[in-house]
Amino acid sequence: MPVPATLWQPGMRITDSRLNAKDYQAGVISVSFTNQSSYTQVVTFPEPFPVAPIMSAEIASGAGVTGRFEARAISVNATGFTLFILLTDAAEGPDTWSGQPVHWTARMPTA
């Protein structure tokens, strides 16, 4: 398992895992739902973080019904998060999505 990126410390040994370490992960989720005004989906990180990361989630399109929705990451922990998509204008009523991409990024907090 790759280790998270680390600031170099005197005396540290150079290893393959340290050289290849990253302090961020990202992905794309294809979201589909029928007649909903909110939607959740649990996402597991490809590699766990040592602590809960800083997150962002963005709907990749603003066309059609997606323009009235917002995405965010909730219940973030070291192993994953819950993607939460919600309708921003309740007066519009529920909608249907089919294979809409939602991008997410997670990065280690800085000291």
Query: Tens digits of per-residue pLDDT, 59-104?
Result: 998 888 888 999 999 999 999 999 999 999 877 889 999 999 999 9
67 in a structural domain: yes
d(CA 44, CA 39): 17
Query: Would you say residue 8 lies in a domain?
Result: no
First-to-last alpha carbon distance for the chain, in angstroms, is 24
Query: How big is the chain by its Cα radius of gyration, in Å?
Result: 17
User: Token digits for 78?
Assistant: 């070291």
The domain tally of the chain equals 1
Mean pLDDT, all residues of the chain: 87
Contact, 104 vs 29, CB < 8 A? yes
98 within a domain of the structure (yes/no)? yes
Q: Who wins on pLDDT, 65 or 49?
A: 49
CATH number at residue 70: 2.60.40.2080
Decide if 97 is inside a domain.
yes
